[in-house]
Amino acid sequence: MSARFAGRVVLVAGSGDGGICRATAVAFAREGAAVMLAGPDPEELQGTLKLIRDAGGTADSVVADIATGRAEESARMVAASVERFGTVDIAFNNATVSGPNSNLADIRERDWTEILTANLTGVWMAMKHELAHMEAFGGGTIVNTACNMARTGLLVGQSAYAASKAGMSTLTRAAAQEYIGKGIRINAISPGPAHEPGSSHAEGATPEQVADAVIWLCSAEAAFVVGHDLVLDKKIV
């Protein structure tokens, strides 16, 4: 186990599945951090906890779904991290709901609301609680997940998703300017499809590669990076 994040507490919010959340949680634990996992599925959370603990890492979990956009979900995950580990030094907010594939005029109102709530309102609410804690305790670091779609809009039928992630990118930049003077550094990542080799998106970054980018943005090596949206995609548009 590395000690680059020894003594730091990291909140990973989104899901405990085998994708980006799991890879990032495992990577932080490998670097010495105590990790609080927050997600909607207890079984998925337990699977990630087992991976971390079997490798000698420190982690716990709380069932909390930021994709609902409800204040109590975000409040519960921050409170759980403080109760278990004493603080939240770093937060990674990885809410991603794409919704059904529909051209803009065919998007149902309830689908639009669900996508915007999960990808934008949910992360805004998570940040409200994370920032309140970090400001009270002297600073911290936040990374949010946007998407390369916010810049390219290349996937036909995903305009609501693209709009929500563009909003996430802009929200990140605006918040970064508001809070850097308070010792809180905020950035985003914009990955392309993170799939396993052999899939239709085989050239996209793997979850582990995305996790490496998150780790770097939260590290001392990236202390000069503020309000940036780091695109993780081979396609240049």
Residues with a catalytic annotation lie at 161
Between CA 24 and CA 68 the distance in angstroms is 22
Residue type, 201: H
Return the ∠ at Cα 60 (arms to 54 and 61), rounded to 5°: 120
3-state secondary structure of 123: helix
The pair phi, psi for residue 58, each rounded to 5°, is -115, 125
Q: Which amino acid is at 150?
A: A
Which residues make Cβ contacts (< 8 Å) with residue 155, sequence separation at least 6? 149, 161, 162
Q: CB under 8 Å to 185, separation ≥6 — which residues?
A: 139, 140, 141, 142, 176, 223, 225, 226
